[in-house]
Amino acid sequence: MALQQISVFLENKSGRLAEVTELLGKGGVNLRAISIADTADFGILRLIVDKPADTLELMAANGFTAKETDVLGVEIPDRPGGLAEILKVFNDNGVNIEYLYATLEKNADMAVVIFKVEDIDHGMKIIRAHQWKMVDKL
């Protein structure tokens, strides 16, 4: 099962990230994973939260453009080469990764990586075929 990621589009100016995180905190939304990519004019803040619907409402109510996207959360071995092994299998099986980022979540000796893939159904099929653990909640 896929995770729901919230992408928030931000003007690339001082204080915008602080504003979003303050809104989430006041709204009782807990961050589980976070990533930001920027250009000269704007940034895309990608979030995994405990309350995706509430987050979308908070963003809209406060003038932020946000959307929900399905992503894959996968437990990978937390050791040198662990990520490389999974990336090789994805590559060998034609899974196109658009981007990825890690979470702070960890189970024993496994890390959790969030993958945005071009074809989510194909990505899930490869994950299941290799008996990797998919995370559906953080």
Model confidence, pTM: 0.88
What mean pLDDT, rounded, does the chain reach? 93
Domain endpoint, select from 44, 69, 94 = 69
Q: Tell me which residue range forms the domain holding 62.
A: 3-69
CATH code, 80: 3.30.2130.10
Domain endpoint, select from 42, 69, 96 = 69
Q: Quick one: 8 and 35 in the same domain? A: yes
Can you give the length of the chain in residues? 138
Write out the two tokens for 79.
């050791």
Question: For residue 42, what pLDDT is reported?
Answer: 87
Q: How many domains does the chain have?
A: 2
DSSP H helical segments within 93-137, as ranges? 120-129
How does pLDDT run across 95-116, given as a tens digit for each residue?
A: 999 999 998 776 678 889 999 9
Name the DSSP class of 127. H
Question: For residue 1, what pLDDT is reported?
Answer: 80
DSSP secondary structure, 6-26, as one string: EEEEEESSTTHHHHHHHHHHH
